[in-house]
Amino acid sequence: MIPPRTFDLAVVGAGVIGLAHAALAQERGLSVVVIERTDRPVGASIRNFGHVGITTQEGEGLAYATAGRGHWLRFAERAGFWIRPAGTMIVARAEDEWALLHRFAELRGDAVELLTPDQTRERASIQDPRLLGSAYCGNDLRINSPEAIPALAAHLAEAGVEFRFRTNVTGVEPGLVRTSRGDVPATQVVVATGHDLDLLFPELADEGEFQRCLLHMLETNAPAGSHFDPVILTGTAVMRYGGLSQHPEAASIRERMQRDTPELLEAFVNVKMSQRPNGRLVIGDTHAYAHTHDPFKDESLDTLLLREFAQLLGAPLTVRRRWHGEYASAAAEDFYVREPHPGVFVACVTNGTGMSTGMGFAESVLDRM
Ligand SMILES: Cc1cc2nc3c(=O)[nH]c(=O)nc-3n(C[C@H](O)[C@H](O)[C@H](O)COP(=O)(O)OP(=O)(O)OC[C@H]3O[C@@H](n4cnc5c(N)ncnc54)[C@H](O)[C@@H]3O)c2cc1C
């Protein structure tokens, strides 16, 4: 019997983190196999806003997102998927938000442009009468994740990466990946299973206090005659992005929300929106943390999101699709890397920014291997 081929690198999981490792390793000349339990990527990586948000990251995340920008542009060109340097617009509708955006602009220099209400409306149809202005982050990118992630996988397959879909990984040992369809020998292994790390390495997930963060998302029609090129963020973004939450004004925004709209804080709402190439809006999101989530979608959360967007856009939105997404959340680290066995690396972005930071993060993991 011919012994099975030994790959230089086996990647477990075909989400953005697994594919980023596969793509960059293949560029480095390694033979790569990607093992994925479903028949195509359907995890967090196709359920998101497609926001490659660089400017609002901080520290390690900012470094990874900055490094990742060029990788996204290069892979989009090679794989032929849609990408737009559309930027991010952070909208201010209260004095404390506007003050925070001034601080943010000082911190980021040329990467942020402050816009008046009229300039804001020229770039995006924000109709809330409370609009005071916005910060425009021109380096940020927008992709259509349900198209881009499968296109990246297809491109890698054409370029020589081997894909084993519908193959569940049941264990990983030094030099060997055990799967539901037999063993796969590999000199090195990257485990990029996202929020399902606890199923393969429960002790690591326990030690890192991993949980599943569950998000409500909606796709709606855009109001007639509206235009939205940039990804839109609002005051709730201070709860989620280090580049914003570090400023003293963030505390007063949080206090004001606690007083005026506690329901937004209770549901960890981030009022955020991006537009698909077909014109529909992807709106969200809410956040809930647990090891296992209740399967029943609570309509009150969608109602809350729709209320917020009706205010922001000045018109009620017609829902076309609804879904849940889950990503891994960990207590202490945003960028989780462990080597549980020699040559076996577990790699996970645990702060919900994998589309933005995953490419640069994967590059740093490969550099360590
Ligand atoms: C609703 C939502 C909105 C978001 N918005 C943004 C955004 O706009 N910008 C941004 O930067 N980030 C965003 N994020 C975060 C980002 O999507 C995630 O950080 C990223 O997609 C995680 O990628 P991943 O590859 O780790 O996980 P996944 O995409 O979930 O991929 C993991 C893969 O591993 C496979 N797998 C698991 N276990 C096994 C096994 N035992 N054997 C074989 N295969 C296995 C799964 O089937 C899956 O395909 C969002 C996330 C969600 C959920």
pLDDT, mean of residues 110-131: 97
Strands 176-179 and 335-341: unpaired
Report how far apart the first and last C-alpha atoms of the chain are (Å, whole number).
32
pLDDT value at residue 239: 85
CA of 195 to the centre of ligand 1 (A): 7
CA of 18 to the centre of ligand 1 (A): 9
Torsional class of 147: left (φ above 0), alpha (ψ -120 to 50), beta (otherwise): alpha
CA of 15 to the centre of ligand 1 (A): 5
Token pair in block for residue 246: 């570090």
Token pair in block for residue 221: 């029609």
Mutate which of 39, 355, 356 for ligand 1? The one with the most ligand atoms within 8 Å of its CB, which is: 355
Which ligand 1 atom is nearest residue 38's CA? 47
Question: Hey, how many other C-beta atoms are within 10 angstroms of the C-beta on 314?
Answer: 14
Domains and CATH numbers, the chain: 7-68+145-209+331-368 (3.50.50.60), 88-137+211-329 (3.30.9.10)
CA of 280 to the centre of ligand 1 (A): 22
Cβ of residue 325 lying under 6 Å from some atom of ligand 1: yes
pLDDT digits (tens, 9 = 90+) for 237-263: 988 898 899 888 899 999 999 999 999
pLDDT, mean of residues 333-348: 97
CA of 291 to the centre of ligand 1 (A): 16
pLDDT value at residue 159: 97
Q: Mean pLDDT in the chain?
A: 96
Which ligand 1 atom is nearest residue 325's CA? 53
CA of 181 to the centre of ligand 1 (A): 23
pLDDT, mean of residues 7-36: 98
Cβ of residue 335 lying under 6 Å from some atom of ligand 1: no
What percent of the chain is predicted at pLDDT more than 90? 95
Cβ of residue 148 lying under 6 Å from some atom of ligand 1: no
Q: Is the pLDDT at 332 greater than 90, yes or no?
A: no
pLDDT digits (tens, 9 = 90+) for 281-330: 999 999 999 999 999 989 999 999 999 999 999 999 999 999 999 999 99
DSSP H stretches of helix in the chain: 16-27, 44-47, 59-79, 95-108, 117-123, 145-158, 197-200, 202-207, 242-245, 249-260, 262-266, 299-313, 354-368
Residues 45/150, Cβ–Cβ less than 8 Å? no
Q: Is the pLDDT at 47 greater than 90, yes or no?
A: yes
Cβ of residue 57 lying under 6 Å from some atom of ligand 1: no
CA atoms of 308 and 68, how far apart (whole Å):
32
pLDDT, mean of residues 169-194: 98
Label residue 331 by pLDDT band (50, 70, 90). Answer: confident
pLDDT digits (tens, 9 = 90+) for 135-160: 999 999 999 999 999 999 999 999 99
pLDDT, mean of residues 64-73: 98
CA of 326 to the centre of ligand 1 (A): 7
Cβ of residue 169 lying under 6 Å from some atom of ligand 1: yes
Q: Is the pLDDT at 1 greater than 70, yes or no?
A: no
Residue located nearest, by CA, to atom 15 of ligand 1: 352
Cβ of residue 177 lying under 6 Å from some atom of ligand 1: no
Mutate which of 49, 144, 183, 271 for ligand 1? The one with the most ligand atoms within 8 Å of its CB, which is: 49
Q: Is the ipTM of this complex over 0.90?
A: yes
pLDDT value at residue 48: 98
pLDDT value at residue 238: 87
CA of 336 to the centre of ligand 1 (A): 14
pLDDT value at residue 240: 86
pLDDT, mean of residues 219-232: 96
Q: Is the pLDDT at 118 greater than 90, yes or no?
A: yes
Give SS3 for 10. strand
Q: Is the pLDDT at 3 greater than 80, yes or no?
A: no
Which ligand 1 atom is nearest residue 13's CA? 34
